[in-house]
Chains A and B, each alone.
Chain A
Amino acid sequence: MDHKRAPLNRFLWVLGTIVVVLYALVPVAWLVSLSLKPADELSNGKFLPRSPTLDNYTGAKGVFNDPQFPSALRNSVGIALIATVLAVTLAMFAAYAIVRLDFPGKQFVLGGALAIAMFPPVSIIGPLFNMWRSLRLFDTWPGLIIPYMTFTLPLAIWTLSAFFREIPWDLDKAARVDGATPFQAFRRIIAPLAAPGVFTSAILVFIFAWNDFLFATSLTSTNRARTVPAAIAFFTGSSQFDFPAGQIAAGSVVVTIPIILMVLVFQRRIVAGLTSGAVKG
């Protein structure tokens, strides 16, 4: 039976893989193709551009020469990175405390974090808009970093506490006996061991901040803090009848690249089973 089933099995696997890959990548490929088409080809309905051009990227009307796109890119990178660093750092301390300490209200903290994660951001946009204006945070980097950090902290705390729980407590104790302060034990032993978890949550936080459209459109008004997803929406053609599909596609491709790079760079760290060999045999 088995030797008959084997080829069928493999065929189904391959088929399944192809379906999934196509499903995920065709829109991306379409976007890339669109961004490489010159203006007159945009609506020809062909998948491959007949005469590929980088006009949409570097041409006179390309995204990099757009007045707002380069600054939007800068905002996006800066805001997402700072939000990520802050959220992950705070989450590390919080998760470590939750896992290692027994303090009153521990379950409440975890439950509260989960509740915040499930809270629909759109419901606080209105109040936030008014608050940010009176606090002078409207249209600033902190104005976006704070909500990004807040909404990603729960996820990061949950991810990291799962990782910390896997690290044998004896390692903290050993470090303490070896002469480390609690912070040294955390920084030199526990944090490196939790690195896969740190990178996992960092990627998730970064993606959230990078992709966010809701806060970015509502809490910014100029190039000072407007991020790429919002900026793309503000692309306008040379006239109101001109729809800049090519530039939008080019802008979308550009924003996708950092995410892909980040995942590629860190995935090896995430997969690496660093704790192997910590205890016993």
Chain B
Amino acid sequence: MAEIVLDKVTKKYGDGFEAVKEADFTIRDGEFFILVGPSGCGKSTLLNMIVGLEDITSGELRVGGKVVNDVDPKDRNMAMVFQSYAIYPHLTVRENMEFPLKLRRMDKAEIDRRVDEAARILELTEHLDRKPGNLSGGQRQRVAMGRAVVREPSAFLMDEPLSNLDAKLRVQMRTAISRIQQRLGTTTVYVTHDQVEAMTLGDRVAVLRRGEVQQVGTPRELYNTPRNLFVAGFIGSPAMNLLPGELDGRNLRLPMVELELPEDVAERLDGRPGRVIAGIRPEDFEDATLVEDRSGGATFTTKVDVLEWLGSELYAHFAVEQGAGELADLAEDLETVELGGDEGAQVVARLDVRSDAREGRDAELWVNARAIHLFDPDDGRALVRHDESIDLRHGDEARSPREVAGAGG
């Protein structure tokens, strides 16, 4: 019983700065929930409000049905893993893990049982009597995890727990955390700025930007049907290519090609003409010579500037002229999203490795018209979602929790 409901939760500081604006979503019992966004987007503030380290300015936070706005952090029975680990340097590993249990005056035998168990899971058994100062970064990280696990809390809160580890260890710990969470089935809220972590770990993900929740959904939903330009540009690596486009009936004119949108997509656009921003994921391009059925797309020829071969993947970079000027404002607005420089936009296409495209030569590429995302250039809202018909004005929250649950698994 640890469903966490955020009901228009807002954090406003004394100087009027709104760190979190009306966060409004539900973290279901047993769910691995991710808060992701660029630095300064309010995700850590939100986490601190859930655990009780920061006051909630307005709105309601309910855990297991009870309003906990004014409950002291010590009484919320949540365990937190800090980015800095925050393990107590003057206590041994065992004492660190015992600390929360001793505060609860737990029975000595039970404390030992839990600590030994956690140490076994986290492979810390032989380090139990050492001080944190003598441990490696990865071991310290596991001590911090252990201190959370022994408590058998109603929720785990993790604030970028892997960001101080080197790349290899991070991947290892990522799977370890995922496994522990599945095994314990404890509701987990996990903060990260790394969209790869968000996509791989999360049952559901909330994307935040400047204190506002942009979209809540499963990684698949965020990837396939981003609700706005920011989510589109933030989720996915390499990022979605964003290009200026001109809409005329069913025709979409892009800098490098003009294509015809599928009928159902065009229908939902309501014949809306004018400027749009088109988003194309790298994998929605293909080497035209390898495409058997070219209907439902368009073919164009472009010079490949850079070719990156990664064994299983092949990325072709090419430039498109025009549009840099009008996209510059947008780029600024989107913070993390790269929209190219003065030369025009750089586009990345993921091609089949069998492609014989060469660096510096022209290549014939095909773009899948069905997979194109369209955004309003003024407010960045998604105009059409190609494989799911969702009411654009309401988005995910408008759907019943059950539906979302089905998608979240």
| A residues whose Cβ falls under 8 Å from a Cβ of B | 168, 170-171, 173-181, 184, 188-189, 192-193, 274-281
Contact = CB atoms under 8 A, between A and B. Distances in A.
Interface string B151-175: 1000001000000100000000000
A178 B51 contact: no
Interface stretch (B81-89, B251-259, B288-296, B385-393): B81-89
A179 B74 contact: yes
B74 A279 contact: no
A50 to B, nearest CB: 54
Interface string B36-61: 00000000000000011100000000
Contact of B78 (A177, A189, A278): A177
A189 B104 contact: no
B104 A171 contact: no
A177 B79 contact: yes
A169 to B, nearest CB: 9
Interface stretch (B129-137, B201-209, B211-219): B129-137
9 contacts: A170-B83, A178-B147, A181-B72, A274-B90, A277-B89, A279-B86, A280-B85, A280-B137, A280-B164
Contacts of A277: 87, 89, 131-135, 140
Contacts of A170: 82-84, 86
Nearest to B51: A177
B191 to A, nearest CB: 14
A278 B131 CA distance: 10
B164 A281 contact: yes
Of A168, A178, A280, most buried by chain B (CB within 10 Å of CB) is A178
B243 interface: no
B90 A279 contact: no
B310 interface: no
B53 A173 contact: yes
Nearest to A173: B53
B214 to A, nearest CB: 27
Nearest to A185: B74
Given A173-B53, A181-B74, A281 B140 contact: yes
B74 A173 contact: no
Interface in B76-105: 76, 78-80, 82-90, 99-100, 103-104
B339 to A, nearest CB: 35
Nearest to A277: B133
A180 to B, nearest CB: 6
Contacts of B140: 277, 281
A168 B80 CA distance: 16
User: Can you list the 6 inter-chain pairs with the closest CB atoms, starting with the nearest?
Assistant: A281-B137, A277-B133, A170-B86, A178-B100, A279-B84, A174-B86
B307 to A, nearest CB: 38
A184 B102 CA distance: 12
Contacts of B147: 174, 178
Contacts of B53: 173, 176-177
A175 B103 CA distance: 10
Nearest to B77: A179
A278 B74 contact: no
Contact of B74 (A180, A193, A280): A180
B262 interface: no
B30 interface: no
A100 to B, nearest CB: 12
Contact of B89 (A176, A177, A180, A274): A274
A181 B75 CA distance: 10
A180 B103 contact: yes
Contacts of A274: 89-90
Nearest to B131: A277
B80 to A, nearest CB: 5
Contacts of A184: 103
Contacts of B90: 192-193, 274
B164 to A, nearest CB: 5
B89 A276 contact: yes
A171 B86 contact: yes
